[in-house]
Structure 1
Amino acid sequence: MAVIDFICLLGVGALWGASFLFMREAAPVLGPVSMTEARVLLAGVALLAVGALLRKVPDFRRDWRGFLILGALMAAFPFTLIAVAELEITASLAAILNATTPLFALAVTAVRQRRRPSGPQIAGVLLGVAGVAVLVGLGPLHVDGMMLLAVGASLLAALFYALGGVYTKIRFPDTHPLATATGQNLAAAAILLAPTLALPPRQTPDTGIILSVVALALACTALGFFLFFLLVTRMGPTGALSVTFLVPLFGLLWGTVFLSEPLSWSMPFGMAMVLAAVFLVTDRPKPAPEPVAAPAEAPAAAVPDGDRG
């Protein structure tokens, strides 16, 4: 792996892991819907500016319906659900639960293609369920109805991400990733506009909350997606998706260091189970068979002069 690729991979993991920290800070003040609206609107405008410079602006006239569906699946719904969940659970736990996205992606793909998962993939799903059970049942938080609803919201967000990933492959296979991300975030902002007006911020945000939202939008969302698309270009989708293993690690680190969130033995243990499950269910390309050289054509046998007609 090139040094630049390794740095970008760490950057995406750190930025996306930090998004859970910023949501944990801003959601109780602004409310999940208003905070998400500010996040996707700022990110969409920033990506649109970059796309204009690179001439990768999305074609809204042609693809507006697709962008609305993608914006709902990949941004509006999951971002809001995670923000709701973080009203009850820690940023660390939310980040780890989000790592179950590939497990849901396996299920969605299997249903869509009517293909039975392999033995390792089934084992991965079972291990992932066990890992979530360890995180919830043996974690540092008190398990009650609200906490279980928050965990359910986090897992539902992961399901939306999985559905969005499948939809992207179907609807936008040839669209530039920067244009797709721009359309996705601006469409999500349009979807959340009416709910934001109906559910205004709970409090007047101070400077710290405003900075958290700006960092969430510009760094974690806009810059994070830009670096991810760069990785896809340089390493391919399989290599870029290895960031899945880094996001919960950084989420756990940032939550523990900056928010002083409680850390028990069950969190690293449960996270290891979830990450191992992700490894089992993630498709890895098989090495291409080496071409077999065609046998050289045998030289014609010499015919003695006496045998020639």
Structure 2
Amino acid sequence: MNTLASSPVFEARTTPAWITPAEIGLLGAVWGASFLFMRVAAPEFGAAALVDVRLALGALVLLPFLWRARAQFPLRIWPKLALIGAINSAVPFVLFAWAAQRSPAGVGAICNSMTVLFTALVGFLFFREKISLRRTMALLVGFAGVVVLASGKTEGASIGWAVAAGTGAAVLYGFGINLVRRHVTGLPAAAVAASTLGTSALLMLPFAIAQWPDHAISAKAWGAAAALGVMCTGFAFVFYYRLIARVGPARAATTTYLVPLFAVLWAWMLLGEAVTATMLLSGALILGSVAFSQKAK
């Protein structure tokens, strides 16, 4: 491999300026579509079965990265990887899939935006990291957005439990990100993703078998599940890590702001889901708080 050509500095110099914002936009659109695909597939699969299909397909896409780096993954670290996978993939995916059966696609995406703030909060509470006044204020505003979202209704039905599930998933992502930072630093990121997705798929397999639907699953639902696993989980991770290597994690994380916007847009365009005033207000509060927390002091 040509080490100069593969370095972030070289790539940054040779990559046209429009490529990075285009890739950030594309990644936001793909991850926003994941909530649409969950909304389509979850009612037919159920949460456990859908998540296991998603995890397995995502792991298969990333398997070549793990195979290439297999020497860096001795047996002793696999229990740790399995735990991280459960916290950062299996359980959050189940919570989002469960929420997708009970609320519009945009609701889960808006809750997912709290991940940035929960990562800071978990680091402060459990890992002795400092948290600034700016981020503390942002957390309070973000929580207000969650409360507003939970108070909303869709077609007369409360979405409070779906919001609670989505927020719980974001909390788990906060734990997962902190664990990844501390326990798998130095390992190839795409290979780590393959290992955690693969172990999570094995963890979910008994639940998927036990809860596999006894009715035929439509081609539409299978297509949504395949897109969720292959495109939104497997290929999206590859895209994301390549983006981090070129522009750094802070700039790559700006996809956070685009995911709920695309999720709401896709659901409105393709499923005819209404965009409520509650969703707009809560989204503005949560995304505004995340943007405020990321500003330089």
TM-score (norm 2): 0.89
Counterpart residue number, 2:225: 213
5+ long unaligned stretches in structure 2: 1-15
Larger Rg: 1
SS at match of 2:288: helix
Distance 2:147 2:157 in 1: 11
Instruction: Identify the residue that residue 106 of structure 1 maps to in structure 2.
Output: 120
Looking at structure 1, the residues matched to 213 and 77 of structure 2 have their Cα atoms a distance apart, in angstroms, of: 31
- Equivalent position to 1:192, from 179, 195, 204: 204
| Equivalent residue number for residue 69 of structure 2 | 56
Q: Does 1:261 align with 2:273?
A: yes
- 1:189 Cα deviation (Å)? 0.4
Cα distance change of structure 1 residues 209 and 15 upon mapping to structure 2, 3 Å threshold: same
Q: Identify the residue that residue 285 of structure 2 maps to in structure 1.
A: 273
Please state if 1:8 is matched with 2:23. yes
- Identity among equivalent positions (%) equals 31
Give the deviation of 1:154 after TM superposition: 0.8
| Shift, 1:13, TM fit | 0.6
Q: Does 1:92 align with 2:106?
A: yes
Q: What is the aligned partner in structure 2 of residue 304 from structure 1? A: none
What is aligned with 1:294?
none
1:179, distance to aligned residue in structure 2 (A): 0.5
Q: 1:43 aligns with which of 58, 62, 86?
A: 58
Residue of structure 2 equivalent to 1:228:
240
The partner residue of 1:151 within 138, 158, 163 is 163
Amino acid at match of 2:87: L
The answer as to whether partners of 2:90 and 2:204 remain within 8 angstroms in 1 is yes
Distance 1:116 1:175 in 2: 26
Q: Is 1:172 aligned to 2:187, yes or no?
A: no
SS across alignment from 1:106: helix
Instruction: Kindly provide the CA deviation profile for residues 130-176 of structure 1, in whole angstroms up to 9, marking residues without a partner as x.
Output: 112222324545354xx322211111101111110000001110010
Q: Go from structure 1 to structure 2 and tell me whether the alpha carbon gap of 1:140 and 1:197 turns closer, same or farther (over 3 Å shift).
A: closer
Equivalent residue for 2:262, pick from 229, 246, 250: 250
1:32 matched to which residue of 2? 47
Q: Which amino acid aligns with 2:53?
A: A
State the AA in 2 paired with 1:90.
P
1:60 and 1:73 map into 2 onto residues whose CA distance is 21
CA distance in structure 2 between the aligned counterparts of 1:280 and 1:149, rounded to whole angstroms: 27
- After superposition, give the CA deviation of every residue in 1:195-226 in whole Å (9 maximum; x if it has no partner): 11211125311211111111001100011111
Counterpart position of 2:134: 120
Could you tell me which amino acid in structure 2 is paired with residue 56 of structure 1? A
Instruction: Specify the code of the residue in structure 1 equivalent to 2:88.
Output: M
Alignment pair present for 1:22 and 2:34: no
Q: Deviations over 1:84-139 (max 9, x none)?
A: 11111111111111111112112101113435532211210111111122223245
CA deviation digits over 1:65-86, x for unaligned, max 9? 1210111011100000100111
Q: Report the Cα distance in structure 2 between the residues aligned to 1:113 and 1:281, rounded to whole angstroms.
A: 19
User: Which residue in 2 is equivalent to 1:79?
Assistant: 93
Stretches of structure 1 lacking an aligned partner (at least 5 in a row): 287-309
Q: Is the 8 A contact 2:152 2:160 kept in 1?
A: no
Instruction: Give 1:280 deviation, angstroms.
Output: 2.5
